[in-house]
């Protein structure tokens, strides 16, 4: 297998390891670029020039969904086999994505974790070094210092000591930056 040097994506500008000699875009931008090319072709050729026996987009989508349902198990087995055959390839790709798209991945992980816990994740301020995400209710989050968050034991599901920790969190938030509160659009 040929090893390529890191390149810069022509669309977003992030660094990526190419998987082929003619690749010009990172893994995240390829679907966007391909969709733009299809749309450009569609507008250039136009609907009127399609052949009368062309399949409509809705029919194509329906057939794809049916195929996916019928062949779901075979596709799962195929993907597992590819992953088992090349785990280093997937580990390398994931490591590169974690480095190049660190902030987006962290935001996705926080939101996923909140959903898994049946809580929303609507931050009222920006995260900072040494912070903890404190749910003031089941939807909204305030980033507060980790020491402050651990100082009062609480439970958002039962409401245990939530008034006390929320009071401390809002006092800290008001003391550190009224601008952060104004930017959040949330009124206390």
Check residue 68 and give its pLDDT: 84
User: Exposure pattern of 31-46 as b/e (b: 16+ CB <10 Å)?
Assistant: eeeeeeeeeeeeeeee
Q: pLDDT band at 184, cuts 50/70/90? A: very low
Question: What is the percent of the chain with per-residue pLDDT over 90, rounded to a whole number?
Answer: 25
pTM exceeds cut of 0.85: no
Considering the domain boundaries, does residue 92 fall inside one?
no
Check residue 50 and give its pLDDT: 57
Considering the domain boundaries, does residue 5 fall inside one?
yes
Considering the domain boundaries, does residue 114 fall inside one?
no
Check residue 186 and give its pLDDT: 47
Compute the distance between CA of residue 136 and CA of residue 140 in angstroms, rounded to an integer: 6
Considering the domain boundaries, does residue 82 fall inside one?
no
- 121 vs 183, higher pLDDT: 121
Average confidence score pLDDT of the chain: 82
Q: pLDDT band at 96, cuts 50/70/90? A: confident
Q: Is residue 46's pLDDT more than 80? A: no
Domain boundary among the residues 34, 50, 66 is at 50
Considering the domain boundaries, does residue 15 fall inside one?
yes
Q: What is the mean pLDDT of residues 33-43?
A: 78
Considering the domain boundaries, does residue 162 fall inside one?
yes
Q: pLDDT band at 154, cuts 50/70/90? A: very high
Q: What is the mean pLDDT of residues 39-61?
A: 68
What residues make up the domain containing 153?
119-184
Q: Is residue 109's pLDDT more than 70? A: yes
Q: Is residue 162's pLDDT more than 90? A: yes
Considering the domain boundaries, does residue 8 fall inside one?
yes
Asked whether 173 and 181 are in contact (CB, 8 A), the reply is yes
Q: What is the mean pLDDT of residues 98-124?
A: 80
Considering the domain boundaries, does residue 96 fall inside one?
no
Each residue of 1-22: pLDDT tens digit?
577 788 888 888 888 887 777 8
- Total domain count for the chain? 2
Compute the distance between CA of residue 134 and CA of residue 166 in angstroms, rounded to an integer: 9
Check residue 53 and give its pLDDT: 60
Compute the distance between CA of residue 177 and CA of residue 171 in angstroms, rounded to an integer: 10
Q: pLDDT band at 182, cuts 50/70/90? A: very low
């Amino acid at each position: 297998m040929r090893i390529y040097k890191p390149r810069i994506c022509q669309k977003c500008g992030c660094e990526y390891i190419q998987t082929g000699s003619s690749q010009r875009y990172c893994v995240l931008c390829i679907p966007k670029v391909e969709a733009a090319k299809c749309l450009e072709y569609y507008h250039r050729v136009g609907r009127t020039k399609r052949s009368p026996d062309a399949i409509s987009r809705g029919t194509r989508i329906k057939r794809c969904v049916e195929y996916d349902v019928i062949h779901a198990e075979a596709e799962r087995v195929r993907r597992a086999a590819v992953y088992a055959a090349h785990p280093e390839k997937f580990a390398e790709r994931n490591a590169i994505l974690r480095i190049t798209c660190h902030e987006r991945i962290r935001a996705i992980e926080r939101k996923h974790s909140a959903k898994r816990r049946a809580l929303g994740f609507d931050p009222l301020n920006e995260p900072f070094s040494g912070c903890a995400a404190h749910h003031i209710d089941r939807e909204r989050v305030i980033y507060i210092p980790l020491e402050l968050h651990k100082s009062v034991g609480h439970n958002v599901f039962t409401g245990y000591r939530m008034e006390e920790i929320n009071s401390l969190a809002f006092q800290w938030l008001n003391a550190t930056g009224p601008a952060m509160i104004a930017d959040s659009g949330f009124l206390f």
